[in-house]
Amino acid sequence: MRLNRLATRILAVVIALLVAAVGGIAFYSMSRGGDALTESAENYERILAESLSYRLDATFNRFDGILKALSALITTRFSSPPSVDAVDIVVPQFGAQNGKFMTDLGVQSSEARSLFVVFNPEMYGTEKTFLTGFERADESSMFMFIDGKNISAADLIDRNNPETAWFWAPLDTGDAYWGDIRASEGGEEVVTYSRPITVGGKVTAVAVMTFSFDFVRELLNSVKIYDSGYAFLLNKDLKYLHHPTLSFDGPGFREVVDGSFAKYADGIVNDKKGRISYLWNGVPKTMSYWTLENGYVVFVAADVNESLAAVASMRKAVYIGIAVILAVASAVVILFSRSLARPLRAVAERALYVAESGDLTVSVDARTSITEIKA
């Protein structure tokens, strides 16, 4: 009986040590593996946001190149600002002489819908808008000549009119202006981009183009982030330019969800790139963001449970592996212990018999490693 109890204790100690060793290795592996997978998920989302920003920047930089070429055309043609008396003649003349060049610039971009130059009413008066350029309805249409007959010069320099900010903002800032989404006459979503043109040290005109916003939506909608994640775009004022459920006309980033995102707004504007963790209806979420050269901010939103699904799968696999290893190891230990205990028990029984009977002629049937004991 003592032998049985000893064997049981040894077996228990061996199994306990086995559990501790396997469990310790498994815990360490899960910890390191979980950290690595978490870091990989964060890097993936950050790199995805960065990649989207580069792709959008590539197209927006192409637009910038078009307007810079148009600006260079103006500054090459006019070494000094046209006089007030001559502007009514030289602007139409400029359009006629350089129409092909301007349309060639426009067709370089399938997204372009209009390309024109507006001369500054603060220099040439508000009675008439001096504009020359071309526009088309869609990518497959031809560019047609446009003038400023339907545009009020007074409205262009009205700082209280946000609809003409594309004109007066470049005058005031001396920098490029990226407008907001609006609907064209044909119902297409377009954005206006403009740059000031300086001639003889004065902002003489503004170069303008409008482009279809469809390419932005197509790019961001094509992004698949795990099961339910998505990409979206904000303007420099953190208004939604693209989002699966929110619109530009609705509340901005600071106002949605009862203003719960407002605390992140300054960090987004100042840091230019980063990652936000938050709870949405009790579910952990993240947003990785990257700021474009024109001030737009692209976001990649993801569900933490989905991004770390591999961690849960790894843990499940490790638990199953531990169970299998322990079951097999325990079976091996039990069988091995029995193979040792059987001959030892036989010796013990014969020794007890000799002690009680005094018969020294008994022998032990040794068909196992008991021969080693006899030796």
The rounded distance, in Å, linking the Cα atoms of 152 and 55 is 37
Q: What is the pLDDT of residues 184-243, one digit of tens each?
A: 888 899 999 999 999 999 999 999 999 999 999 999 999 988 889 999 999 999 999 999
Angle between helices 2-77 and 99-107 (to 10 degrees): 170
Q: Residue 153 has what pLDDT?
A: 95
The rounded distance, in Å, linking the Cα atoms of 245 and 37 is 30
Our CA angle for 23, 27, 33, nearest 5°, is 140
Domains of the chain, CATH where assigned:
57-212 (3.30.450.20), 216-307 (3.30.450.20)
Q: Distance between the two ends of the chain, CA-based, in angstroms?
A: 25
The rounded distance, in Å, linking the Cα atoms of 322 and 18 is 10
> What separation in angstroms does the CA of 327 have from each of 5, 250, 318?
22, 60, 14
Q: Residue 305 has what pLDDT?
A: 85
User: What is the amino acid identity at position 185?
Assistant: E
- Going by pLDDT thresholds of 50, 70 and 90, the confidence category of residue 1 is very low
Of residues 165, 176, 174, 164, the one with CA closest to residue 203: 174
Which residues, at least 6 apart from 214, have a Cβ–Cβ distance to it below 8 Å?
Answer: 111, 188, 189
> Strand pairing of 230-234 and 189-199?
unpaired
Q: What is the pLDDT of residues 273-295, one digit of tens each?
A: 999 999 888 889 999 999 999 99
Q: Residue 125 has what pLDDT?
A: 94
Q: What is the pLDDT of residues 142-201, one digit of tens each?
A: 999 998 888 999 999 999 999 999 999 999 999 999 999 999 888 899 999 999 999 999
- Going by pLDDT thresholds of 50, 70 and 90, the confidence category of residue 3 is very low
Q: 73 is written with which tokens? A: 């055309």
Residue 39 pLDDT > 60: yes
DSSP structure class, residue 227: T
Our CA angle for 372, 374, 375, nearest 5°, is 65
Mean pLDDT of 12-31: 64
Is the separation of the CB atoms in 299 and 50 below 8 Å?
Answer: no
Q: Which alpha helices (H) appear in 78-164, and where do they start and end?
A: 87-97, 99-107, 121-124, 153-156
Q: Residue 296 has what pLDDT?
A: 96
Of residues 181, 159, 191, 160, the one with CA closest to residue 172: 159
- What radius of gyration, in Å, describes the C-alpha atoms of the chain? 39
3-state secondary structure of 113: strand
Is the separation of the CB atoms in 251 and 259 below 8 Å?
Answer: no
Is the separation of the CB atoms in 139 and 186 below 8 Å?
Answer: no
The rounded distance, in Å, linking the Cα atoms of 296 and 242 is 11
Q: What is the pLDDT of residues 240-259, one digit of tens each?
A: 999 999 999 999 999 998 89
E strand segments, 213-326 = 230-234, 240-242, 273-280, 283-291, 297-303
Residue 37 pLDDT > 90: no
The rounded distance, in Å, linking the Cα atoms of 134 and 209 is 10
The rounded distance, in Å, linking the Cα atoms of 48 and 275 is 12
Burial 128-146 (b: 16+ CB within 10 A, else e): bbbbbbbbbeeeeeebeeb
Q: 160 is written with which tokens? A: 């209280």
